[in-house]
Amino acid sequence: MMSRPLPVTIERTAYGVGAACLAVLPQLDDGGVNLTVAAVGGTCAWWVYRRATRADFRTALVAAQRGLPVLTGAAAYAAAAVTPGASWWEYAAPLAWGALMAVWLPVTRASWTPSPHPTPPAGPAGFEEQVAARWAASQAAQQTRLVDVQRLVPGRKDFTAVVVAPAGLPVPRFDLDAVAALFDVPTAAVCPIEDIPGSGPGRKRLTITPSERKAGVLSFEEDWVERVGGHDGAIPRSRVVRIRQDPGRVMILAEVPSGQVATINHPQLCSAFGVKAEELRLIAETDGGTQALVTLYDTSPLTGTRHATRDMVTPTADGWWVIGTAHDGTDVYSRLWNGTGAVHGYVVGVTGSGKTVAIVLGLAAAANAGAVSWLASLDPDAQLAAAGQYIDRQGSGRLYAARAVRAAVRLMTLRGEINAEVGHDFSPASPYPMLTLDLDEFNGLCDDSDEGQEIAAGAVAIAERGRKYGIRVCFAGQTLDLSRIGGDRSLREQTRSGTGVVLRTVSGISGRQATEGMLPEGVELAEIPTVIGGGLSIADRMEGITEVPHGASTAGMGHALSGGAPRMMRVLYVHLPKDGTAHNLDDLFPEGGTVCTLTAREIEVLDAEDLYGDWTAPVTEAETAAAQTAVKPKKVTAKDRILAVLTGEMTTKEIREAIPEVTAGTVRNALSDLVGQGLIANPDHGVYAPLTRPPHPHTTPTP
């Protein structure tokens, strides 16, 4: 004999009471009762509708079965309430309704099957309950719970659910790998947690859709995880957030987990997309935080040139001016000054990379802002000489550069006195103009000669203190290494805060190596090839093609850094012929050929101290005497810094942390040299100590 569970008794009792109410209550014609019945019936109808439209067919059928007693009872009540008088059927219908429902038991039968020997369930029976229980038991849930679990595909693992955080807390960021492992689905099947319209951060939606994957074919997101977002990928631990396709390009926004910084290996990323890095079709950049933007073009967007105009290179009130055009067609800006004073800069690029054009554009911007420009280079340069007629001073050689630096350093003292008189440091309202000092081939200028040492020491002083006196320095060269002039962390930070331009570098030398110590940590620059589309590929040679295409020049292509993440761009075009033909500088510098100079007071002081005469004249006796008596600053090398901090046993990591201004590779090489020269001890692997210290406890002294 089958047992009768308690829910059956309760349900049948409810139908008996309901039948009596349906027979009596409509005759009272009470408005409150009518509204209550209408509200109950309407709510039930809405619940059935929502379940029927948001779930699979079986769930919709169960919802309709459970709602049937309420809906039919409400319908019988409404029919009796609107009928005048009291007819016999108004009493018979409730009795028939109660008897039918008692036999059918729609609510109980929706979730119960009679059994001769009922046993309590061992665990969650339905898919929805199993999903919620598995989530609750997992560490990946981070104390959250799943509610409103809805299966999306019958018989599959696809579902959507609402993640609810503990009271008063937002839903945390989940590791998608951990969620995928929990439900045994590919990581790409786990959609990023989404906000729920109308809900706060304590409730968010989780969606898992493994069935959307085509059999045997990876989705783009899965392909990204496999080729790009892996731990050893081009953008480690990244996931695709958004994809946008425009004519001629595809843009992919990716993101790494919170607490990490997105880094990009450009050659590896190009390989993942099946394109050649030298084609410059794939541009990748970060925001300096968790996001990275990858743009793949049909053809390189940097092959076209854009002519510079005077309006472009005229700084705004905040000191910004246009130096080039980014790969996406937007303007790229450089800066001469900010709210704290003058800002420094640097230009790096080999011969033919567009370095001279970038320098000339900076000179034009300074002139249009009313600034004074002094330009010194290691060797004579016809293109720079063409720009020299538009600025205050231009020349070549170490002697010329040393005199320019010497005058600029003296100006800092004089302008310090002027600042004290007016009551503020340099600003556009100062009674003296900005002075910009460009030093081309800077590494070559700073040799071991008296002039080279003076240039190095003076450049450091200007870079560290010139800001508040309106004096900026722009370092330029084929490579740039400020450590060779004793540049410490302060010098690097002062220079890095300005605008840097990194063009094509020496073959085999990365942008980081060419600007050692200047790029922000984690930033790697895509290498700029000599030409785009030149040469023959291996496939071309296999096909027997012998005609070598010349390709498009990459002069002016490079990266601009303005205190943050780099932007790939092409410097504005300026016509600077090397054959002596006409140039177009008249269209860039101030109209009418106005040349900006120092104030009369400044010139008078410099003249009185013989600092403003002919900087190309032979060395004077006074300069020779001063050079002989001057105490030359000793260049501080990486080895000197290591010996200074190595007071006891230290690991390589501890030494690097003690001298952050020296790069990791330089520290390793210097440590090896010091050990080889017998200046320090290496008692254990990765451990170093002065020679006067006792042996490392983990080593056994040699008998």
Of 190, 212, 234, which residue is a domain's last?
212
Task: Say yes or no: 147 and 236 in one domain.
Answer: no
pLDDT at 255 over 60: yes
pLDDT at 693 over 90: no
pLDDT higher for 404 or 21? 404
Sorting pLDDT into bands at 50, 70 and 90, what band is 312? very high
Task: Say yes or no: 365 and 441 in one domain.
Answer: yes
Task: Say yes or no: 64 and 153 in one domain.
Answer: no
The single-letter code of the amino acid at 266 is H
In a domain, 416, yes or no: yes
Task: Say yes or no: 390 and 496 in one domain.
Answer: yes
pLDDT at 370 over 80: yes
> For position 381, what pLDDT does the model report?
87
* Nearest of 294, 229, 284, 283 to residue 257 by alpha carbon: 229
pLDDT at 362 over 80: yes
In a domain, 702, yes or no: no
Sorting pLDDT into bands at 50, 70 and 90, what band is 700? very low
pLDDT higher for 580 or 533? 533
Sorting pLDDT into bands at 50, 70 and 90, what band is 263? confident
Task: Say yes or no: 142 and 240 in one domain.
Answer: no
CATH, residue 460: 3.40.50.300
Only one residue has tokens 């509610």, namely 147
Q: How far apart (Å, rounded) are the C-alpha atoms in residues 666 and 662?
A: 7
Provide CB contacts within 8 A for 507, sequence distance 6+.
530
> For position 547, what pLDDT does the model report?
63
In a domain, 314, yes or no: no
pLDDT at 496 over 70: no
> For position 115, what pLDDT does the model report?
46
- pLDDT tens, position by position, 25-59: 777 777 777 788 778 778 888 877 777 776 567 77
- pLDDT tens, position by position, 553-563: 888 888 888 76
Of 185, 212, 239, which residue is a domain's last?
212
Q: How far apart (Å, rounded) are the C-alpha atoms in residues 472 and 497?
A: 12
> For position 409, what pLDDT does the model report?
94
Sorting pLDDT into bands at 50, 70 and 90, what band is 79? confident
What is the Rg, in whole angstroms, of the alpha carbon atoms belonging to the chain? 39
Domain that holds residue 161: 127-212
What's the mean per-residue pLDDT of the chain?
A: 81
pLDDT at 119 over 60: no
pLDDT higher for 605 or 699? 605
pLDDT at 120 over 50: no
> For position 692, what pLDDT does the model report?
59
- pLDDT tens, position by position, 504-554: 876 655 555 556 556 666 667 777 887 776 665 666 666 666 665 566 788
> For position 56, what pLDDT does the model report?
65
In a domain, 305, yes or no: no
**284 backbone dihedrals φ, ψ, rounded to 5°:** -125, 135
| pTM of the entire predicted model | 0.60
In a domain, 627, yes or no: no
> For position 331, what pLDDT does the model report?
92
Task: Say yes or no: 253 and 360 in one domain.
Answer: no
pLDDT at 358 over 90: yes
CATH, residue 682: 1.10.10.10
In a domain, 619, yes or no: no
Sorting pLDDT into bands at 50, 70 and 90, what band is 694? very low
Q: How far apart (Å, rounded) are the C-alpha atoms in residues 664 and 648?
A: 20
Angle, alpha carbons 624-629-630 (nearest 5°): 95
pLDDT at 183 over 70: yes
CB–CB of 266/527 below 8 Å? yes
Residues in the chain: 703
Q: Quick one: what percent of the chain has pLDDT higher than 90?
A: 22
Task: Say yes or no: 89 and 34 in one domain.
Answer: yes
pLDDT at 392 over 80: yes
> For position 80, what pLDDT does the model report?
74
Task: Say yes or no: 16 and 157 in one domain.
Answer: no
- pLDDT tens, position by position, 460-486: 889 888 999 999 999 898 877 666 555
Sorting pLDDT into bands at 50, 70 and 90, what band is 418? very high
Mean pLDDT over 117-140 rounds to: 74
> For position 367, what pLDDT does the model report?
95
CB–CB of 439/473 below 8 Å? yes
Task: Say yes or no: 262 and 375 in one domain.
Answer: no
pLDDT higher for 550 or 362? 362
> For position 607, what pLDDT does the model report?
92
> For position 593, what pLDDT does the model report?
83
> For position 421, what pLDDT does the model report?
93
In a domain, 700, yes or no: no
CB–CB of 502/525 below 8 Å? yes
In a domain, 631, yes or no: no
Q: Where are the beta strands (DSSP E) in 272-423?
A: 282-286, 291-297, 320-326, 331-335, 337-338, 341-342, 345-348, 372-377, 393-396
> For position 35, what pLDDT does the model report?
80
DSSP code for 307: B
Task: Say yes or no: 292 and 335 in one domain.
Answer: no
Task: Say yes or no: 428 and 284 in one domain.
Answer: no
Domain count, the chain: 5
> For position 632, what pLDDT does the model report?
55
Angle, alpha carbons 524-530-532 (nearest 5°): 95
Sorting pLDDT into bands at 50, 70 and 90, what band is 118? very low
Task: Say yes or no: 240 and 207 in one domain.
Answer: no
